[in-house]
């Protein structure tokens, strides 16, 4: 109990009161911190909430829940729509990369979405928010990178919006694609017994690949044209996170083969700095922008022996199973359940 002497607080009591007051503030902060965590935005639950509250019209073949929306524009012609926003400090660092490189990446991300549907990009609109005081020379260098990759893949830039603001530099690309007689490949067609294939090598993208990757557009179209692909996605959030999107949309599970995962040299390098295993980085780093495709065993074998991919490494890394969930099988055949991990945008 705090006591008083001659109208003044004793020194010992002052110390006690101070300690109690600090403890009170810490408790209040901890409670606030926990409440704040509860109310923090979470990307995928938010998307699910939006999706559950929006009905599709008859023209919408595929809405929220895939790499692209697909709209029937009549006479069996389908329009694919994808959009990506990149923010300075989150998706790129202007202290490390120049404006041209940022412009290139912004378009490449959206091309990768169209590639994962096995279709062809056509036109794009680009919206930009420049920090106040940005020079025209920066914008021109940005567009040099945009035009470089857009021209390579026959994409016309047909509009957009330009504003300035107090925040960091932001670029948003909305890319439209066309099916040209092909049916888009969705996330929702995986079946038990299917094999899981992946292009290229995975992990360690922060060492450069996240900026300088080449969208697997030719490979996506080749897969769609020449094989029966049950499901496909590009690896932007991370192998296990993006595979989980296919599993959720298809209502199935999967087993990954640990000794078959194509781990990149960059994943090995970055693991020495982080102390995490190379396989951890291959599973969860994201921004590899490789294709993850699910096909029947027969079709997968044809892909693996095909000469259509010009020497690109393609690996069979697992199989689809009936039981929902994700498992990892080690080299000795032991199974353990794993949680999907990857990059979260918010």
- Residue numbers in the known binding site for ATP are 143, 160-161, 187, 236
Residues in the annotated binding site for substrate = 91, 287, 343
Do the Cβ atoms of 99 and 169 come closer than 8 Å?
Answer: no
Do the Cβ atoms of 99 and 48 come closer than 8 Å?
Answer: no
Strands 253-257 and 325-329: parallel
Residues in the annotated binding site = 67, 82-84, 91, 113, 143, 160-161, 187, 234, 236-237, 287, 343
CA 178, CA 242: separation in Å to the nearest integer? 23
CA 163, CA 156: separation in Å to the nearest integer? 21
Residues in the annotated binding site for Mg(2+) = 67, 82-84, 113, 161, 234, 237
Do the Cβ atoms of 175 and 113 come closer than 8 Å?
Answer: yes
Extract the tokens encoding 36: 């704040």
238: left (phi over 0), alpha (psi -120 to 50) or beta: left
> What residues contact residue 99 under an 8 Å CB cut-off, 6+ apart?
138, 139, 141, 142, 144, 145
């Amino acid at each position: 109990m705090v006591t008083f002497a001659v109208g003044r607080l004793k020194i010992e009591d002052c110390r006690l009161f101070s300690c109690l007051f600090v403890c009170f503030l810490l408790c209040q902060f901890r409670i606030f911190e926990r409440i704040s965590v509860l109310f923090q935005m979470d990307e995928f639950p938010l998307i699910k909430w939006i999706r559950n509250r929006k009905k599709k019209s008859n023209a919408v073949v595929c809405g929220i829940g895939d790499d692209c929306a697909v709209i029937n524009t009549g006479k069996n012609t389908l329009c694919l729509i994808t959009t990506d926003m990149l923010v300075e400090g989150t998706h790129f660092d202007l202290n490390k990369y120049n404006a041209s490189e940022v412009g290139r990446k912004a378009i490449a991300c959206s091309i990768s979405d169209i590639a994962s549907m096995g279709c062809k990009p056509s036109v794009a609109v680009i919206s930009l928010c420049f920090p106040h005081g940005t020079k025209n020379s920066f914008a021109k260098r940005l567009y040099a990178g945009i035009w470089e990759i857009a021209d390579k893949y026959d994409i016309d830039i047909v509009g957009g919006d330009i504003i300035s603001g107090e925040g960091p530099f932001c670029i948003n690309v909305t890319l439209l694609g066309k099916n040209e007689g092909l049916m888009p490949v969705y996330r929702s067609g995986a079946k038990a017994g299917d094999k899981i294939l992946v292009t290229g090598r995975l992990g360690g993208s922060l060492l450069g690949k996240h900026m300088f990757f080449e969208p697997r557009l030719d490979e996506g179209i080749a897969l769609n044209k020449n094989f029966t692909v049950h499901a496909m996605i590009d690896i932007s959030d991370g192998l296990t996170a993006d595979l989980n999107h296919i599993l959720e949309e298809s209502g199935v599970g999967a087993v990954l083969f640990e000794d078959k995962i194509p781990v990149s040299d960059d994943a090995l390098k970055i693991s020495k700095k982080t102390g995490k295993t190379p396989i951890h980085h291959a599973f969860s780093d994201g921004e590899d922008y490789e294709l993850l495709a699910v096909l029947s065993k027969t079709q997968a074998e044809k892909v693996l022996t095909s000469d259509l991919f010009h020497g690109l490494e393609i690996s069979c890394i697992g199989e689809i199973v009936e039981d929902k969930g994700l498992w990892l099988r080690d080299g000795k055949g032991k199974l353990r359940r794993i949680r999907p991990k990857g990059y979260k945008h918010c």
